[in-house]
C-alpha cells in the first residue's frame, strides 16, 4: 500500500510539473517576451535615428544579449543558467569586456541607460520566477521523499510491534498451557 502511495505521489508531482512547464509557464512569459521585443525595437530605433552607433560594442552586446534571452526565455533551465553564470564569473576576459561595455553605456544617452535598466528588470523578474519555481519544486520533492521515508519507518515499526505482539501472544499461550497442565497434576 505504501509503494502505491509513493507511486501516486510521484506521478502527481510529475503531472503538476508537466502542466506547469508545458502550459502555464509559456503563458506567463508572453508578457516578458513582448517586453524584450519592445526593448530590442527601441534599441534599433535609436540606431536608425542616429542616436547610437550601429557598429558600437555597446549596441552589439546589448542586441546580442536581448536576442539571446528572447530565444532562451522559453527554454530556461536553472542548471544551464548557473553554469553560464559561473563561466562569466570565472572568465577574466569576459569580465573586462563587460566592464568596457558598461562604461560605454554610462557615457551614452539616458535613453540607452533606460533600455538597459528595463532589460535588467525583465531578466530579474524572469530569473526570480524560475528560481521560485525551482525552489518550490525542490521543496516538494524533498518533502515527498521525507514523507516516504517516515511512512516506511513507521510501517517497519508497526510490523515489528505486530510480530513482537504475536510472539508475545505465543509465549503467553505456552505459559498458559504449562500452568494449566501444572494445575491439573
Q: What are the tens digits of pLDDT across the range 141-155?
A: 788 778 777 777 777
Q: Report yes or no on whether pTM surpasses 0.85.
A: no
Average pLDDT over residues 20-31: 73
H or E element that contains 167:
helix 110-184
What's the CA gap between 71 and 52, in Å, rounded? 24
Query: What is the pLDDT, as a whole number, of residue 77?
Result: 67
CA 2 to chain centre: 28
Q: Residue with C-alpha cell 501444572?
A: 182
Domain extent, residue 163, equals: 2-184
Query: What is the pLDDT, as a whole number, of residue 40?
Result: 92
Number of domains in the chain: 1
Q: What are the tens digits of pLDDT across the range 68-108?
A: 777 776 566 666 666 776 776 787 877 777 777 777 777 77
What's the CA gap between 59 and 79, in Å, rounded? 28
Amino acid at each position: 500500500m505504501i509503494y502505491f502511495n509513493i507511486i501516486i505521489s510521484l506521478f502527481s508531482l510529475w503531472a503538476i510539473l508537466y502542466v506547469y512547464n508545458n502550459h502555464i509557464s509559456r503563458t506567463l512569459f508572453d508578457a516578458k517576451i513582448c517586453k524584450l521585443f519592445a526593448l530590442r525595437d527601441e534599441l534599433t530605433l535609436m540606431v536608425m535615428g542616429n542616436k547610437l552607433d550601429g557598429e558600437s560594442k555597446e549596441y552589439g552586446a546589448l542586441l546580442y544579449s536581448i536576442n539571446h534571452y528572447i530565444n532562451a526565455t522559453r527554454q530556461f533551465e536553472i542548471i544551464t543558467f548557473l553554469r553560464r553564470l559561473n563561466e562569466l564569473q570565472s572568465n577574466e576576459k569576459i569580465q573586462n569586456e563587460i566592464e568596457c561595455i558598461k562604461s560605454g553605456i554610462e557615457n551614452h544617452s539616458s535613453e540607452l541607460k533606460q533600455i538597459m535598466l528595463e532589460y535588467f528588470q525583465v531578466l530579474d523578474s524572469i530569473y526570480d520566477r524560475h528560481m521560485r519555481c525551482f525552489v518550490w519544486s525542490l521543496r516538494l520533492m524533498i518533502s515527498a521523499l521525507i514523507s516516504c521515508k517516515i511512512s516506511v519507518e513507521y510501517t517497519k515499526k508497526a510490523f515489528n510491534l505486530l510480530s513482537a505482539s504475536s510472539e508475545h501472544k505465543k509465549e503467553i499461550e505456552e505459559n498458559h498451557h504449562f500452568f494449566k497442565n501444572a494445575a491439573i497434576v
